[in-house]
Amino acid sequence: MATEITFSDEIANLLYASEGNPLNTCIQCGTCAGTCPAVEYMDHTPRVLIGMIGANLRDEVLLSNTYWSCSSCYHCTVRCPAGIDITGLMYGLKRYSMWKDQHKEGLIGPSFSESFIKMIMRTGRSFEPVLAPTYVTKYGSREMFQEARTATALFFKGRMPLLPKRIKRLDNFRQMVRRIIPLGGPS
Amino acid sequence: MTKYAYYPGCSLESLAVSYNLSAVAAARELGLELVELDDWNCCGATSYFHIDELFAHTLVARNIAIAEKEGLDFVAPCSGCFKNAYFTNEHLKEDPDLADHINYALAADDLSLNGSTKVRHLLDVFIEDVGYEGIKEKVTTPLDGLRVAPYYGCQLVRPRKNGEEIENPQFFEGLISAIGADPVDYSSKMRCCGGSLIVTNRKAALDMVYRLLLDASNRDTDVIATICPMCNVNLEVYQKQVNREYNTNFDIPAMYFTQLIGLALGIAPGRLGIGKELVSMAPSLLA
Ranges A119-123, A183-187, B55-59, B98-102: which has the least confidence: A183-187
DSSP secondary structure letter of residue A41: G
Q: What angle do CA B210, B213, B219 make, to 5 degrees?
A: 140
B38-47 average pLDDT score: 90
DSSP secondary structure letter of residue B127: I
pLDDT exceeds 50 at position B66? yes
Q: What's the domain count of chain B?
A: 2
CA-CA distance, B89 to B112, in Å (whole number)?
A: 12
Residues B74, B120: contact at Cβ < 8 Å? yes
pLDDT exceeds 60 at position A184? no
Shortest alpha-carbon distance between residue A54 and chain B (Å): 22
Does B130 map to a domain? no
Does B49 map to a domain? yes
Confidence of residue A186 (pLDDT cuts 50, 70, 90): very low
Shortest alpha-carbon distance between residue A38 and chain B (Å): 6
Does B60 map to a domain? yes
CATH of the domain at B270: 3.40.50.11810
pLDDT exceeds 70 at position B193? yes
Q: In this structure, are B117 and B161 located in the same domain? A: no
Of B96, B108, B150, B143, give the one whose Cα is nearest residue B127. Answer: B150
Does B27 map to a domain? yes
- From chain B, the residues in CB contact with A129 under 8 A are 14
- The DSSP annotation for B7-46 comes to ---GGGGTTTHHHHHHHHHHHHHTTEEEEEPTT-----TT
Cβ A173–B62 below 8 Å, yes or no? yes
pLDDT (tens digit per residue) in B239-254: 999 999 999 999 999 9
Shortest alpha-carbon distance between residue B272 and chain A (Å): 13
CA-CA distance, A24 to B122, in Å (whole number)?
A: 38
Confidence of residue A187 (pLDDT cuts 50, 70, 90): very low
- The DSSP annotation for A85-141 comes to -HHHHHHHHHHHHHHHT---TT-SHHHHHHHHHHHHHHHSS--HHHHTHHHHGGG-H
Does B287 map to a domain? no
Of B64, B141, B144, give the one whose Cα is nearest residue B99. Answer: B64
By Cβ distance, the residue of B14, B51, B53 closest to A98 is: B51
pLDDT exceeds 90 at position A161? no
Does B11 map to a domain? yes
Range of the structural domain that residue B117 is part of: 2-121
Cβ B49–A78 below 8 Å, yes or no? no
Q: Which residue of B has its CA nearest to A185?
A: B55
Does B129 map to a domain? no
Instruction: Give pLDDT, residue B223.
Output: 96
B209-214 average pLDDT score: 98
Q: In this structure, are B39 and B100 located in the same domain? A: yes
The residue from B121, B150, B174 where one domain ends is B121
Confidence of residue A133 (pLDDT cuts 50, 70, 90): low
Query: Rounded to the nearest 10 degrees, what angle do helices A109-123 and A170-180 cross at?
Result: 130
* A128 in reach of chain B (CB within 8 A): yes
Q: What does pTM read for this prediction?
A: 0.95
Amino acid identity for residue A119 in this structure = M
pLDDT exceeds 90 at position A179? yes
Confidence of residue B143 (pLDDT cuts 50, 70, 90): very high
Q: Which domains does chain A show, CATH number per domain? A: 7-100 (1.10.1060.10), 109-180 (no CATH)
A13-17 average pLDDT score: 82
Higher pLDDT, B44 or B178: B178
pLDDT (tens digit per residue) in B95-111: 999 999 999 999 999 99
Cβ B199–A112 below 8 Å, yes or no? yes
Q: What angle do CA B140, B141, B143 make, to 5 degrees?
A: 140
Residues B141, B264: contact at Cβ < 8 Å? yes
The H-or-E segment that residue B51 falls in is helix B48-51
* A145 in reach of chain B (CB within 8 A): no
ipTM over 0.85: yes
pLDDT exceeds 90 at position B286? no
* A184 in reach of chain B (CB within 8 A): no
Residues B104, B112: contact at Cβ < 8 Å? no
* A135 in reach of chain B (CB within 8 A): yes
Cβ A124–B41 below 8 Å, yes or no? yes
Write down the mean pLDDT value for chain A.
89
CA-CA distance, B239 to B247, in Å (whole number)?
A: 11
CA-CA distance, B82 to B116, in Å (whole number)?
A: 16
Confidence of residue A63 (pLDDT cuts 50, 70, 90): very high
Instruction: Give pLDDT, residue B287.
Output: 47
Amino acid identity for residue B233 in this structure = V
* A167 in reach of chain B (CB within 8 A): yes
